[in-house]
Amino acid sequence: MKVVGCARSVDKIEKLAAECQSAGYSGVLIPYKCDLSNEEEILSMFSAIKTLHQGVDVCINNAGLARPEPLLSGKTEGWRMMIDVNVMAVSICTREVYRSMKERNIDDGHIININSMNGHSVVPQSVVHFYSATKYAVTALTEGLRQELREAKTHIRATCISPGLVETGFAFKLHDNDPERAAATYESIRCLKAEDMANAVIYVLSAPPHVQIGDIQMRPTEQIS
């Protein structure tokens, strides 16, 4: 399998690609620089993938961010950033992936949206209320996608994976003016790890063709909300 990993900064992906290669893993991880808040860059990325690798068979919409912008006092810029990355980028990538699959008569592809438990419940923390709204949108988009794929009489599947607290750089982006608070987010409980998310993706992709996994909701055992 060839995996194209896109990000605004590809340093970490390049490092991971080197680690995978030195470990002797099968497959190839290909870093690609792309700002997912910019539609032109997204379309350019899909064009490059078509030219270099024919197309996309599996898409994992993993990008997401939160800004500390409450509903009553938040900055429009922060809201728009969350909409652009958490909702618009997911929708644009999904559309382009489906086109790629249809062009090549791929009938068994898979689109996986990395959602959040915040897309299923609203926690009493004002800094994540707008973020939660964008993740509720991902919940609706994934189910809408599933229905449209059925209407198109295709066997392409759509799945959400909705984690609770995962130890990533997410909190440091949310609390970028308070790194101590961000670090404390991950120190309070034993969080999910990136490996846990990867295992969930593998589980989804390993399901038999007749099995449609709609949503995996997973959180740390110690997490309350």
Backbone angles phi, psi at 28, to 5 degrees: -135, 135
Task: Give the SS3 label for residue 104.
Answer: coil
Q: What's the Cα-to-Cα distance from 156 to each of 1, 39, 205, rounded to whole Å?
A: 18, 24, 12
H helices within 23-84, ranges in order? 39-53, 76-82
Contacts of 156 (CB under 8 A, 6+ apart): 98, 101, 106, 107, 108, 109, 110, 111, 149
Known catalytic membership, residue 32: no
Identify the active-site residue in 131, 136, 186, 203: 131
Tokens encoding 207:
């399901």
DSSP SS3 for 31: strand
Sequence-distant (6+) residues with CB within 8 A of 104 are: 54, 55
Residues catalogued as catalytic: 131
